[in-house]
Amino acid sequence: MKKTIVCWSLLAAMCLLAGCRSSKQAVEGGGTGTEWADSFTAAALKQGTVSAKLNLQLSDGNKGVSVGGSCNLKRDEVIQLSLVAMGIMEVGRIELTPQYIMMVDRMGRQYVRAGYDELVWLREAGIDFYTFQALFWNDLFVPGNGGRWSADEFMVSRRDNEAFVSTDSGRLVEAAFVVDLATGLIRNTLLRANSRPDLPALEWSYTHFAEVGQKSFPDNMQLSVAHDGKALRAVFSLSNLKAGDKDIRLTDEPGGRYKKVEVKDILNTLIK
């Protein structure tokens, strides 16, 4: 079923974060600086809970599929995506917490649940829950820092009204960001694996922001992954955004007739 394929493909794309590289480069003539950080930290929503309706479009260059659902985010606690068919039946769920990644395929009655340290490519690259959180919340991150960063950890170059902000190139995975100096918001996040041209390329773009709790929050985002001549694109469109401090109920690990499978099995199926 196409909705099931969407769910597994999205999980695969997100897991491919571990080995990203980008063909885009920041402008020459960089340096360090902290003045850009003040406007950045003041612009976007960085706390509490955000709930929204979700429309997800997934395409691989040849065919595409669209599915509805919901998106629930609680800062430092959970990212929860529910994919729904015909507006009534959940066909898949993806849930990330600081401790684990879980994906439940309701139609195929199978699921994945794994700690980040169990996924070698994530562990070695320093990709964890806080990396995914930064992407959904329009935030900066330093791979391997557990969501913590300071302005002096980045190299900064400027061109016109944009700042090109990047992490230390000495890490396995380098993160680079394009920040709009007029709004203080990130427009693009790029990931690249140094000295590993065989690994996938990833770009996360922000095409629109909504006002949530008197702050800006991205309500239209595009994930693009290129690997071995193949391209996967996922577009997240959020609507009816609501902010607060409510709890989000975590998903119980399925039992009964559900079969537990490994992430590598899904990756091998989808990207070979």
Write the CB contacts of 106 (distance below 8 Å, at least 6 apart in sequence). Answer: 89, 90, 91, 92, 93
Q: What are 4-23's pLDDT values in tens digits?
A: 555 555 655 555 454 443 33
Name, of 41-50, 74-83, 218-227, the range with top average pLDDT.
Answer: 74-83
Question: pLDDT at position 208, please?
Answer: 97
**For the whole model, what pTM was predicted?**
0.85
Q: What are 245-269's pLDDT values in tens digits?
A: 788 999 999 988 999 988 766 555 4
- C-alpha distances out from residue 144 to 20, 55, 86, Å: 15, 31, 40
Question: pLDDT at position 159, please?
Answer: 85
State the pLDDT confidence band at 231, using cuts at 50, 70 and 90: confident
pLDDT, the chain, mean? 80
Name, of 18-22, 47-51, 103-107, 114-118, the range with top average pLDDT.
Answer: 47-51
> Could you count the other beta carbons within 10 Å of the beta carbon of residue 200?
22
SS (H, E, C) the chain: CHHHHHHHHHHHHHHHHHHCCCCCCCCCCCCCCCHHHHHHHHHECCCCEEEEEEEEEEECCCCEEEEEEEEEEECCCEEEEEEEECCCEEEEEEEECCCEEEEEECCCCEEEEEEHHHCHHHHHHCCCHHHHHHHHHCCCCCCCCCCCCCHHHCEEEEECCEEEEECCCCCCEEEEEEEECCCCEEEEEEEEECCCCCCCEEEEEEEEEEEECCEEEEEEEEEEEEECCEEEEEEEEEEEEEEECCCCCCCCCCCCCCEECCHHHHHHHHHC
pLDDT at 104 over 70: yes
Q: What are 124-162's pLDDT values in tens digits?
A: 777 889 999 999 999 999 888 888 888 888 888 888 888
pLDDT at 1 over 90: no
- What is the percent of the chain where pLDDT is above 70? 76
Q: Which residue has the higher pLDDT, 35 or 144?
A: 144
Which segment of 84-88, 183-187, 227-231 scores lowest on mean pLDDT? Answer: 227-231
